Chain A
């Protein structure tokens, strides 16, 4: 990832009208697209995703301000298209915790952990279901 200062060209190398092209000739994201820029250093806490508890309601997908939820398109039992959450794009997550707030499962399938915590470690320490006292 080139820093913006390294990327800046001389005045006679600008494209006319300062046009930025999102895609290159092959249809991939070009170097001008912000997908190639990382904002990961903004966050102090990161969300960790627990696939075992997730019910694929996709509330986190719609509420994420940074389009960080990677979805996979599958066809469900009724033959309809459906998006399953696969994981989190940690390059673009800013750690706002909106996804954790909107997660509807009784034990959240998304929780915030400190940035240095290992993901596998976090999954092992996931809160367990509390047994009800009768």
Chain B
């Protein structure tokens, strides 16, 4: 397991995901990807589901990856990487690959490719127990195709398929809790992370690379285009998400042992997080105030649940 150390030490790592890709200015996807792929010194094989990251880092005839990279369909990033892992194990057993040179397997998917479309392949790969890590870059919607809703979109968010208006207040359903669903698959390591807490994210990634078996990392990736905030505020928005406990940072080992890895010193109201984004601006208009209260209640209840579960150690 790579020792992450302090940032001065971490910054000496040569980058494996290079510039020149066509992600939006201020996109959190590449921040997360760099923090994850720099967290190991072993060779890695990456597969990416269709999404912003795949489209922007591999516009033909250019690639931004310094590691082996594979693109397959929207729905089978986890299936592709589990196939690569099975082949690697078989070739190693037959003596066709060097034994002393370990390789790690990594899959990236957006929230559409993880929560909705790619869920069956992810669930299957976790059930079969392949040795890989899946990183979900959760930007709460299909942002690459113009901002449609996905099952990761939270209540009240304006998207093009759940628009705000005189009658509608935006998305009607709460976000699916995929991290818990993956922990109940019996994954040995499941965690949530945000790009602004770089040490937390890099440590979790290093731990995930070190763990044998399927690992799931759910990362919140603020989207400047569809969440409608200034590109410079990417880091601030992800800080607000963890400080208001909308996106609590925790890890679950072996499906049971839950540890909260970051506790905000001053818990800020959810109102601050919602107010910083243009997609929630209609919640502050007359007639929609009850939604902010519902948000606060929902967030507090979930935070309380996590704390109780950590105390009980189940």
Q: Does A35 contact B (CB under 8 A)?
A: yes
Q: Does A100 contact B (CB under 8 A)?
A: yes
**In the bound complex, how far is the Cα of B243 from the Cα of A34, in angstroms?**
36
Q: Are A4 and B62 closer than 8 Å at their CB atoms?
A: yes
- Rounded to whole Å, the gap between the CB of B49 and the closest CB of chain A is 18
Per-residue B-contact encoding for A108-134, CB less than 8 Å = 1, 0 else: 000000000000000000000000000
Instruction: Kindly identify, within residues 85 to 106 of chain A, every residue whose CB is under 8 Å from any CB belonging to chain B.
Output: 89, 91-98, 100-102
Decide: B26 and A73 in contact? CB cutoff 8 A.
no
- Taking CB atoms and an 8 Å cut-off, the chain A residues in 46-67 that contact chain B are 56-59, 61-67
User: Does B88 have its Cβ within 8 Å of any Cβ on chain A?
Assistant: no
Q: Are B26 and A98 in contact (CB under 8 A)?
A: yes
Measured between alpha carbons, how far is A4 from B59 in the docked complex, in Å?
9
> In the assembled complex, which residues on chain A have CB atoms less than 8 Å from the CB atom of B29?
65
Q: A97 to B231, Cβ gap below 8 A? A: yes
Kindly identify, within residues 11 to 67 of chain B, every residue whose CB is under 8 Å from any CB belonging to chain A. 11-12, 15, 17-31, 34-35, 57-66
A18 at the B interface (CB under 8 A):
yes
Docked-complex contact A18 and B60, CB < 8 angstroms: yes
A59 CA / B11 CA spacing, docked (Å): 9
B314 close to A (CB within 8 Å) = no
Partner of A38 from B20, B28, B61, B63 at Cβ < 8 Å: B20
Query: For A20, A39, A59, A66, which residue has the most chain B Cβ atoms within 10 angstroms?
Result: A66
B235:A66 contact, CB within 8 angstroms: no
In the complex, the answer to whether A34 meets B7 with C-beta atoms within 8 Å is no
**Chain A residues within 8 Å of B10, by CB:** 58, 62
Q: Give chain B nearest CB distance to A113 CB in angstroms.
A: 14
B232 within 8 A of A: yes
| Chain B 241-266 per-residue mask, 1 if CB under 8 angstroms from chain A, else 0 | 00000000000000000000000000
A94 to B35, CA, bound (A): 19
Closest to A60 in B: B11
Query: Known contacts being A32-B62, A32-B63, is A96 close to B232, with CB within 8 Å?
Result: yes
Which residues of the partner chain A approach B198 to less than 8 Å between Cβ atoms? 62-63
Please determine whether A95 and B25 come into contact, CB atoms closer than 8 angstroms: yes
CB distance from B172 to the nearest CB of A (A): 32
Shortest Cβ gap from A98 to chain B (Å): 5
Complexed CA–CA distance, A128 and B29 (Å): 35
Q: Which residues of the partner chain B approach A57 to less than 8 Å between Cβ atoms?
A: 7-8
Check A34–B35 contact: CB distance below 8 A. no
Choice from B12, B22, B60, B224 contacting A71 with Cβ under 8 Å:
B12
Please state if A42 and B232 are interface contacts (CB–CB under 8 Å).
no
B20 and A36 contacting across the interface, CB-CB below 8 Å: yes
Asked if B8 contacts A100 (CB within 8 A), the reply is no
> Is the pair B60, A39 in contact by a Cβ cutoff of 8 Å?
no
- Partner-A contacts on B (CB < 8 A): 7-12, 15, 17-31, 34-35, 57-66, 195-196, 198, 224, 231-236
User: What is A's interface to B at a CB cutoff of 8 Å?
Assistant: 4, 7-8, 18, 20, 22-23, 32-39, 42-43, 56-59, 61-68, 71, 73, 76, 80-83, 89, 91-98, 100-102
With A58-B7, A62-B198, A92-B20 already in contact, 19 other A-B pairs whose C-beta atoms are closer than 8 Å: A8-B60, A18-B60, A20-B63, A22-B66, A32-B62, A34-B20, A34-B21, A34-B57, A39-B22, A58-B11, A62-B35, A65-B234, A73-B12, A80-B8, A96-B25, A96-B224, A96-B232, A97-B26, A101-B236
